[in-house]
């Protein structure tokens, strides 16, 4: 969700995903939101348009933590599968 300068709030419909366990945001150049969820996926969202840019898969259990670098290029995720993964956001 983002408040525009005119006071309107932009909402992103995360669609039919299981419970979201973590969110991260970057404002480096182009604002991106990254979500980690119970369905074992990481989703990359474009905040300006509200559109889903990409879905990353590779964890075998719930994604419990998520971070994105300030330049929006690297994502780090932690999971109940006892792994930490480093991803390219491109």
Tens digits of residue pLDDT in 38-89 = 999 999 988 878 788 999 999 999 999 999 998 889 999 999 999 999 999 8
Tens digits of residue pLDDT in 23-40 = 999 876 778 899 999 999
pLDDT band at 16 (very low <50, low <70, confident <90, very high): low
- Whether residue 19 contacts residue 33, with contact meaning beta carbons closer than 8 Å, is answered with no
- 64 vs 8, 11, 29, 44, 50, CA distance in Å? 31, 23, 27, 16, 23
User: Which structural domain range is residue 27 located in?
Assistant: 2-88
Chain length of the chain:
90
Q: What is the CATH number of the domain that holds 34?
A: 2.40.10
Domain count across the chain: 1
Q: Which helix (H) or strand (E) holds 56?
A: strand 51-57
Q: To 10 degrees, the CA torsion angle through 25, 10, 5, 24?
A: -10
- 74 vs 44, 45, 87, 89, CA distance in Å? 11, 14, 6, 5
């Amino acid at each position: 969700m983002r408040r525009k300068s005119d006071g309107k709030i932009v909402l992103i419909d995360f669609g039919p995903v299981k419970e979201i366990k973590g969110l991260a945001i970057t404002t480096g150049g182009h604002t991106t939101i990254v979500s980690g969820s119970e369905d074992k996926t990481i989703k990359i969202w474009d905040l300006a348009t509200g559109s889903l840019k990409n879905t990353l898969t590779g964890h075998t259990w719930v994604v419990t933590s998520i971070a994105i670098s300030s330049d929006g290029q690297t994502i780090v995720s932690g999971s109940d599968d006892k792994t930490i993964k480093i991803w390219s956001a491109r």
